[in-house]
């Protein structure tokens, strides 16, 4: 199977893939670049002693005239001598632009790097690889943080399925030569099961079919630290501060009633007495004026509000 890892994530496998391989395929999005090819009559950059390669931040601004979209360029002159430059742009700002707008800004940026001769091009073409349903992006898959351990399983076959892609190459991953090498490697894995004597051992180097292959694993605690010493006891000691394992730890508790108030005295008896007196006072006041139970409760509050808001003495 020779497709990008991210596209493998859209395939339903029965029986299901191992967890690590499934995680890798589902969390390996393709790159987000636009590829441009600009052809010329002659390789003028070579005449200037230039390699034709540029690495840039691809800075973008709100002003399109001041933008520098090119991230990198390569000399892709053909073996027959047809001069050309390949350039990559980030999709973010330019995917919604027209091809003519992208062409103008790319040529202008090439002139910044290689001089005015870059404007004398023969042809310009670009490709938005994110629009391709069977590749999903350009130039290669991106393995996010937290998924690198699963990446070590990218070349492992599953049942009778062998996986090939430029991301699965053992040399030049991410490039066309890596894609070819990956295909040859997968083919030799199949041959290994059919006719082991016909296998090219060089093609199986750094795969599980390599007799010297060692799967990369996460370092274990006993291999951490200097001189291979186990650092976990020390880490536990330092990491145990302010925990129940800290010998000086004092558990935080909710203060009890006897610790409330001034001088640590228990305030609850006094509060109970105060509450009882308040309730009895309200009942006595309401009984005097023959009020209902609800009115008995709220009439004192009405009195306070009336005298404060109206400014007159309570009439009842």
CATH classification at residue 102: 3.90.660.10
CB 28 within 8 A of CB 142: yes
User: Residue 43: what pLDDT?
Assistant: 94
Question: Are 101 and 171 found together in one domain?
Answer: no
Supply the range of the domain harboring residue 277: 270-310
- Cα–Cα distance between 116 and 296 in angstroms, integer? 96
316, pLDDT greater than 80? no
User: Does 117 count as an annotated binding residue?
Assistant: no
pLDDT in tens, 157-214: 898 899 998 888 888 888 888 899 999 989 988 988 888 888 888 878 777 777 766 6
Cα pseudo-dihedral 34, 37, 43, 45, rounded to 10: -10
Question: Are 21 and 40 found together in one domain?
Answer: no
Tell me the backbone φ, ψ of residue 127, rounded to 5 degrees.
-140, 125
- Cα–Cα distance between 311 and 299 in angstroms, integer? 17
pLDDT in tens, 291-311: 555 565 666 666 665 565 556
The pLDDT mean for the chain works out to 77
User: Does 88 count as an annotated binding residue?
Assistant: yes
- Mean pLDDT check: name the lowest of 10-24, 73-87, 93-107, 267-281: 267-281
User: Residue 15: what pLDDT?
Assistant: 92
- State if pTM tops 0.85: no
Q: Which of 138, 126, 221 is nearest to 174 (CA)?
A: 138
86, pLDDT greater than 90? yes
Question: Are 55 and 105 found together in one domain?
Answer: yes
Query: Last residue of some domain: 74, 93, 128?
Result: 128
- Cα–Cα distance between 66 and 282 in angstroms, integer? 80
- Indicate the SS3 state at residue 172: coil
How many domains, in total, are found in the chain?
3
Question: Are 154 and 201 found together in one domain?
Answer: yes
Question: Are 111 and 54 found together in one domain?
Answer: yes
Q: What is the DSSP letter of 312?
A: S
Q: State percent of the chain over pLDDT 70.
A: 68
With respect to residue 75, please indicate whether it lies within any of the assigned structural domains.
yes
CB 73 within 8 A of CB 51: no
User: Residue 134: what pLDDT?
Assistant: 80
Tell me the backbone φ, ψ of residue 28, rounded to 5 degrees.
-135, 70
Provide the sign of the torsion angle of the four alpha carbons 289, 295, 300, 306, taken in this order.
negative
């Amino acid at each position: 199977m020779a497709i990008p890892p991210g596209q493998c994530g859209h395939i339903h496998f029965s029986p299901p893939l191992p967890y690590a391989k499934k995680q890798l395929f589902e969390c390996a999005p393709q790159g987000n670049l636009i590829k441009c090819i600009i052809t010329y009559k002659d390789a003028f950059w070579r005449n200037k002693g230039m390699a034709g390669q540029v690495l840039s931040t691809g800075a973008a601004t709100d002003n399109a005239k001041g933008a520098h979209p090119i991230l990198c360029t390569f000399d892709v002159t053909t073996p027959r001598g047809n001069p050309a430059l390949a350039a990559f742009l980030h999709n973010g700002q330019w995917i919604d632009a027209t091809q003519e707008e992208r062409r103008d800004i790319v040529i202008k940026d090439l002139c910044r790097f290689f001089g005015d001769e870059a404007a004398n091009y023969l042809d310009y073409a670009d490709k938005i690889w994110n629009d391709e349903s069977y590749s999903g992006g350009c130039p290669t898959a991106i393995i996010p943080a937290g998924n690198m351990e699963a990446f070590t399983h990218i070349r492992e076959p599953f049942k009778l399925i062998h996986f090939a892609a430029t991301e699965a190459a053992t040399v030049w991953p991410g490039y066309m030569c890596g894609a070819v090498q990956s295909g040859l490697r997968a083919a030799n894995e199949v041959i290994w099961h059919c006719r082991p004597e016909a296998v090219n051992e060089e093609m199986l180097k750094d795969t599980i079919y390599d007799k010297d292959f060692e799967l990369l694993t996460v370092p274990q605690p006993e291999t951490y630290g200097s001189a291979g010493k186990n650092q976990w006891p020390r880490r536990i000691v330092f990491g145990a501060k302010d925990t129940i394992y800290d010998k000086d730890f004092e558990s935080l508790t909710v203060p009890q009633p006897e610790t409330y108030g001034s001088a640590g005295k228990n305030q609850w008896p006094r509060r109970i007495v105060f509450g009882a007196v308040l309730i009895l006072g309200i009942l006595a006041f309401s009984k005097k004026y023959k009020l209902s139970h609800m009115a008995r409760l709220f009439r004192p509050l009405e009195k306070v509000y009336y005298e404060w808001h109206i400014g007159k003495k309570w009439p009842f």
